[in-house]
Amino acid sequence: MSSPTPAEDEVPAIQTGPKGVINDWRKFKCEDQDTPPSKKALLRQISNPQSDDVHDRLNRKMSVQEYEMIAEEDEKGLRKYRKQCMKEMHERFSFGPTFDSVVELDNGEAFLEVIEKEHRLTLVVVHIYKDGVKGCEALNSCLDCLATEYPSIKFCRIEAAATGASERFSDDVLPAMLVYKAGELLGNFLSMTQHLSEEFFAADIEAFLNEYGLLPEKEFVACPDEEEAGVEVE
């Protein structure tokens, strides 16, 4: 069996099983800027009480102190850890790029570029809106939330006047939502408010897109609005 090359050694491993999860959690907490220095020192001490062997340190069982540390973690910290793990898995297994927020497109050129040049595996959802038009502000808020739940999707928004085709996107067809993949138009949804109830939320947009089979399996649920409101998420 050939020995691994230096390049292979540099690729971070995504570990599985109880030991792997413990090891990854230790590394995450030691590297996380939000972890207090006292906790980082405790983790290093637990992982390396006497041994200088890296493999031995990383495979020690989780201590009582570490269990207590996990118990003290708030939900936001745990979501942050899960999100980082999923992002690393995406990058490692070449599932395409990941995103964590809605991208504002400034002009028609940026609009065309995101359609034509985005990664072939990336689903692109573009909201065309105009300030003051009913439903546009609500849809923007919904996509802000969905962008955190579906990091493999590139959610974008652009003002109708900035598209360079404002005559096609008059007020009566807004808000409009266009869905692309590999340069192909998969969904052309005009007057979104006609498809929804008068008051709608992120879950309604999610259900609407799912009806057309456009959404992948949800990877993590971390809508900032829900976190702040203290809503329990599975």
What do you get for the CA distance between the two ends of the chain, in Å? 43
Torsions phi, psi of 155, nearest 5? -90, 130
CB contact at 8 A, 120 and 45: no
List, in sequence order, the alpha helices (H) in the chain.
Answer: 6-10, 17-31, 37-47, 54-58, 64-72, 75-92, 108-116, 136-149, 202-211, 224-229
CB contact at 8 A, 85 and 24: yes
User: Residue 40: is it exposed, middle or buried by C-beta count within 10 angstroms (0-12/13-18/19+)?
Assistant: middle
pTM: 0.57
Residue 96 confidence class, pLDDT cut points 50, 70, 90: confident
Higher-confidence residue: 4 or 11? 4
What is the average per-residue pLDDT within 171-180? 96
Flag whether pLDDT at 172 surpasses 60: yes
CB contact at 8 A, 111 and 163: yes
**Distances 117 to 123, 140, 179, 180, 197 between C-alpha atoms, Å:** 12, 23, 14, 11, 35
Share of the chain above pLDDT 70, in %: 53
Selection from 5-14, 21-30, 51-60, 80-89 with the highest mean pLDDT = 80-89
* Token pair belonging to 206: 């999610």
Residue 183 confidence class, pLDDT cut points 50, 70, 90: very high
Higher-confidence residue: 47 or 215? 215
Flag whether pLDDT at 9 surpasses 90: no
What is the average per-residue pLDDT within 157-169? 91
Look at residue 208 in the predicted model and tell me its pLDDT: 95
pLDDT digits (tens, 9 = 90+) for 112-148: 999 999 988 899 999 999 999 999 999 999 999 999 9
pLDDT digits (tens, 9 = 90+) for 46-74: 555 454 554 544 455 555 555 555 555 55
Residue 97 confidence class, pLDDT cut points 50, 70, 90: confident
Flag whether pLDDT at 29 surpasses 80: no
Give SS3 for 2.
coil
Look at residue 2 in the predicted model and tell me its pLDDT: 47
Higher-confidence residue: 62 or 158? 158
**Distances 48 to 30, 32, 71, 100 between C-alpha atoms, Å:** 13, 19, 22, 35
